[in-house]
Amino acid sequence: MQLYKNAFQYAIDAISCFREVGVKELSIAFTPTAFNCSEFEETFYLAKKLGVLEVRIQPLMILGRAQIHLKELVPTPLQYRQLVRTINRLQEKYGPGSIEWGDPVDHLIRFRTLAQHCINHLSIHANGDIAPSPYIPLTVGNIRKHSIQI
């Protein structure tokens, strides 16, 4: 499976840029896979260090490359159990709201009822594509070619 070169560093840089321009309510999404389940705790602490308020864990969406690499990506039942133990331990230490398990498409439903005038959510993919949701194969620009005005 080919990953975007330097995608991790781009994500860290993006979080830092948002913090620098004053965005206070930052959250990130973590999707457990067979190769990253054991990295959740490290990811959580890195997110806290970068000023991220919430880490949202959500199941793998069977879209794009996930369809092709499903057998490699799906965590084992043991990996999920270990992940849940880690989540519970971290929630006990840091309290509710620091980690949330969520339905990946929940925001599409909630925004219709919570946001009266506008939707204040966007997703920036590892390749720079700007999307209204990471779960819909639709892009509205690319951060490398277009600016985002806050």
pLDDT by position in tens, the chain (length 150): 445 678 889 889 989 998 899 988 888 889 899 999 999 999 999 999 999 999 989 887 777 777 777 888 889 999 999 999 999 999 999 987 889 887 766 656 655 555 555 555 677 887 888 887 766 777 888 888 877 665
Q: What residue ranges do the domains of the chain occupy? A: 7-104, 108-150
- pLDDT of 140 reads 83
- pLDDT of 5 reads 78
Q: How far apart are CA 32 and CA 79, in angstroms?
A: 9
141's tokens? 């620009």
Three-state secondary-structure class, residue 74: coil
Q: How far apart are CA 34 and CA 73, in angstroms?
A: 5
- pLDDT of 1 reads 44
- Residue 19: CB atoms within 10 Å: 14
